[in-house]
Structure formats: structure tokens, C-alpha cells
Amino acid sequence: MEKNVVKGALLVGLGAASYGALATVVKLAYQHGFNTAEVSTSQFSVGLAGMILLNLLFKSKEAGTVKQRTPLKSKLNLMLGGTSLGLTSVFYYFSVKYIPVSVAIVLLMQSVWMGLLLEAVLERKWPSAKKLIATVIVLLGTALATNIVSGIGRLNWQGIAWGMAAGLSYTLSLYSSNSIATNLPPIKRSLWLLAGGLVMIILIFFSTSFQNFNFHIFWPWGIFLAFFGTILPPLLFTSGMPHTGIGLGTIVASIELPISVICAYILLQEPVALIQWCGILLIISAIVLMNRKTQTSVL
């Protein structure tokens, strides 16, 4: 596959922006009496149903052509990799129960340095100076954007722990999007990744949280969360990450932070200080820094 880094960065960025709105919507769902099991299950079950329909539509358009069958091993590997998608949602949604969205998102964004570390270990190669500089800028920006220094003493440590766990599983999700069965069409890969995520969620909540399941979660909350959290982002990530690589991909995905903070500011009235807006601009500057040379060469 010929790589197009600019196209890949755009796709990953759009996928991350879709994720950015989720935490605010989940908080609103909590305010309406729904719990994490209901939110996560509705998101992944509706999302999987939508992805099945998309795959059926894709098959109908392949009529008369040689169809590519998905090997069983690829399906199982994708489902295994997709379990990290389910874990990311569960950990992240647990986190926003205890701490503000603007703090939870910065913990999720620890995937920036986790992703670079994972890439360095797997490739046995030290990250480039540009990636290291951009990472430092992103981390500084996230610290400012969440105002985490002045508010650290008031934070719930349960929320912090869940947020860090979400960052780790998010890193593994990005790795799965980048490396597993990349020869298959993104829509097929997304289907099996989501299936693995749903299986993980069912295993987590089966024995404790499904007795009094509130099916009202499916409309409109489940529909919104499924489209912006399980259908659109995996398609964008599986299309974009093979072009960017996990290191650049995780940095581009940090655009999720400003989107999340802005949504929380508008819909939840979470206060956002001037220093936080400065952090958001700093993160955007790091993304521009990472892609400026590539864009110049292409244009």
C-alpha cells in the first residue's frame, strides 16, 4: 500500500474529533440516570449492527467481482485487538464519573507518549527529534488545557486511575488499527474490531449490571454514541493509521483534547480558564509542526 501521510493524518484527526464529543454525551446520559454498562453496551451493539449493514451494502456493490474472503485467523486477531476498544470506552466512561471531562481527556491523551514508547519498543528505534519535540509540546499543552496542576489536590484518585487505564488501552486500540490484518478493507476490519469490543464489554458487565438494564438508552443516546464512537472513528482510524504509523497517529489523535474540552464547556458548562485555551492552541501548534514538512513536500 502506497502511503499518503497527509490523507492519513486527516482521517485520524477526524476520527479523534468524533471521539472528542463522546465524554460530554456520556456525562449527559449519566445525568439522565443511565449507567456505564448501559452506555457502553448500547454504543457497541448499535455500532456493530450498523457496521454489519455497511458490510452487507459493501458486499452488494461487489456483485460480479471476485470477493475477498476474510480468513478465520484474521477475524480472531481483529476481535482480540478489538477488545482494547471496549476496554477504552469502559475505562474512560468510568473516569468521567469521578472527574471533569477536561481532566479525563488529558489522562486519555497519555497515549501520546505511550504510543511513541510502544513504537520505539516494537521497531527497536528511538523516535525522531521532531516526534520527541512535538510530544513534549503536546504534553505541556494538555497540562495547560486541563489546568491539572492547580486542581490536582481536588481530583478523585479513582477517576485518575481509570483515566490512565483508558490511556493505555487507547494506545493498544491505535496499535490494533495500525497493524492487524491491514490487507483487508477498513470496513471489514472495523466490523471484527467492534465485535471484539462488544464481547469484552459483555464479559465485564454480564454478572453485575445487566439485571435491570434500561433499554431507553438506545434512543437517542445509543444511536449518537454508536455513530460517533464505534462506526465513524474505527473506519477513519483503520483507513488512516496505516498511512501515519502509530507514533504520528497518536499525536494527530490528540486533537480529540480540544474538541472534548470545547464540548464540555458548551454543553456541561465546565469552566475553562484562559490558560486552558492556551494549552489547546499549543496542542494544535504541535500537530501543525508534525505535519508541516510533509504537507509542504506534497503541495
What would the pLDDT profile of 256-287 be if each residue is shown by its tens digit?
878 888 899 899 998 877 887 888 788 778 76
Taking 90 as the threshold, does the pLDDT of residue 45 lie above it?
yes
Share of the chain above pLDDT 90, in %: 31
Q: What is the DSSP string of 44-92?
A: HHHHHHHHHHHHHHHHHHTTTS------HHHHHHHHHHHHHHHHHHHHH
Distance CA(123)–CA(111), nearest Å, equals 17
Residue 158 CB contacts under 8 Å (≥ 6 apart), including other chains: 94, 98
Tell me, what's the pLDDT at 46? 95
pLDDT tier at 63, thresholds 50, 70, 90: low
Distance CA(138)–CA(135), nearest Å, equals 5
Is the Cβ–Cβ distance between 21 and 259 less than 8 Å? Answer: yes
Polymer length in residues for the chain:
299
Most confident option among 70-74, 151-155, 220-224: 220-224
pLDDT tier at 64, thresholds 50, 70, 90: low
Can you tell me the mean pLDDT for 217-241?
87
* Least confident interval from 64-68, 122-126, 190-194: 64-68
Distance CA(161)–CA(107), nearest Å, equals 9
Taking 70 as the threshold, does the pLDDT of residue 42 lie above it?
yes
Taking 60 as the threshold, does the pLDDT of residue 294 lie above it?
no
Write down the domain spans for the chain: 5-291
126 CA to centre of own chain: 25
Tell me, what's the pLDDT at 120? 84
Share of the chain above pLDDT 70, in %: 89
> Of 292, 288, 264, 287, whose CA–CA distance to 276 is shortest?
264
Q: Which three cell numbers stand for residue 69?
A: 474472503
Cβ burial 135-168 (10 Å sphere, 16+ → b, else e): bebbbebbbbbbbbeeeeeebeeebbebbbbbbb
More confident residue, 237 or 161: 161
Is the Cβ–Cβ distance between 42 and 32 less than 8 Å? Answer: no
Taking 80 as the threshold, does the pLDDT of residue 94 lie above it?
yes
Q: pLDDT digits over 158-192, tens only?
A: 998 999 999 999 888 878 877 888 888 878 888 89
More confident residue, 67 or 26: 26
